[in-house]
Amino acid sequence: MSRLLVFGMGYVASALAARLTRAGWQVTGTTRDGRDGTIRFDDDAAVVAALASATHVLSSVPPADERDPVLDRYGAWLGRGWLGYLSSTGVYGDAGGAWVDESAPTGGGRRVARAQADAAWLARGARVFRLPGIYGPGRSPIDRVRSGRAHRIGLATQVFSRVHADDIVAGVIAGFDAPAGAYNLADDVPCPQDDVVAFAASLIGLPPPPVVSLDSLSPMARGFYAENRRVANGKAKRVLGWTLRFPDYRLGLRALSAMTSPSPVTAAPAAASGDQR
């Protein structure tokens, strides 16, 4: 039996676990508090035992205090099986709106610790999945518009990439049989965030949210808007054989708007410590 241990059973990892469990895998995960049948991240004996039996190990745990918690605590027990890491396209920093692929330099932006963790997992022979903005059921621009938390910033030249959670699940599964290395999992249509928010509002019959100034945003949000890039996904398509179910945000948001109520992320067709992704 294939056995996956997930460090950080968060949003995307839970969707992956559900898909693999239906396919007959045994999936174990860690969380900070051991909720919902997971292992507490700091339960060393239980985690080491799970590592000993795992055929595949995936970490979705972001850096903490400028360090990778998984590698620091359990790196000595990571064996020769399959390793995966959910990273961020933030490792590329600001590209001035230009396209970036996996050959682009990393570590020059605000995500220095993330870039260092990304490099450390690559050095261990992991499949490193670099993710842009993630959306899906219960976590999308539609939800933010409905709750009144959405806004626009009025910067038409500020471009971002994004990806539906179902497509991340499909990409990680495709990576089980792929060479080690970095893979961008992003959709085909980078665009201004304002476009996405306005489209989400139109789908549910609401007016576009107001335009706000950058100065009114939190420091974290201002940092987000300080970077501008388009993420290329050709390597994942070519090497993983990855096929997007939702190649652009319009398809993804239409599917979400058609759902009668939020539900767990569904599996894509064939194609923190760690509760973040």
| Chunked mean pLDDT (size 10), the chain, 277 residues | 96 97 97 95 98 97 96 94 97 96 92 95 98 96 95 92 98 98 98 96 96 89 88 98 98 90 36 40
The CATH number for 117's domain is 3.40.50.720
Specify if 200 maps to a domain.
Answer: yes
Specify if 275 maps to a domain.
Answer: no
Specify if 222 maps to a domain.
Answer: yes
Quick one: pLDDT at residue 273? 38
Specify if 39 maps to a domain.
Answer: yes
Specify if 277 maps to a domain.
Answer: no
Quick one: pLDDT at residue 220? 82
Specify if 59 maps to a domain.
Answer: yes
Residue 158 structural domain: 3-257
Quick one: pLDDT at residue 277? 59
Domain count, the chain: 1
Specify if 276 maps to a domain.
Answer: no
Task: Please state the pTM of the whole predicted model.
Answer: 0.92
Instruction: Show the tokens assigned to 258.
Output: 């058609």
Specify if 12 maps to a domain.
Answer: yes
